[in-house]
Amino acid sequence: MAVRMSDDEFDGLVSDALDTIPTELTDQMNNVVILVEPANEEHPDILGLYHGVSLTTRTHDYAGFLPDTITIYRDPILWMCHSREQVVREVAITVMHEIAHHFGIDDDWLHANGWG
């Protein structure tokens, strides 16, 4: 059974997850925005998506790009969880997973290290 949660409460969980990231990392995040959306229309089961040019692949000519986006998809997370505690954990994992992509870390490493 899906967890019911207001949009504001879910947004707060995303904000809380971001607050757990060490300042040394957030200070390095550059030209990226974090969004919360209901679901991805093309892939309704994904929990989050990073779209952009990771920090590790940016070169000296990286300029004039729109911000990268990290999107956290509320509905699939709420649908897959059975408790508020599970939602809190899944939001934290998803936020960290997508931020890791911004730093150039791939899915294989993330899955192997518990950030599925």
Q: What proportion of the chain, given as a percentage, has pLDDT over 70?
A: 99
What value does the mean pLDDT take over residues 5-32?
94
Whether residue 39 has pLDDT greater than 70: yes
Domain 7-107 in CATH 3.30.420.40: no
Task: Read off the pLDDT of residues 55-73 as tens digits, 9 standing for 90 and up.
Answer: 888 888 888 878 999 999 9
Beta-bridge partner residues of 36:
72
- Reported as a pLDDT band with limits 50, 70 and 90, residue 1 is low
- Residues 6 or more apart whose Cβ sits within 8 Å of residue 97: 48, 110, 115, 116
Q: Domain spans of the chain?
A: 7-107
* The pLDDT value given to residue 114: 78
d(CA 80, CA 66): 32
Nearest to 95 by CA among 5, 31, 29: 29
Q: Residue holding tokens 């040019």?
A: 53
More confident residue, 2 or 59: 2
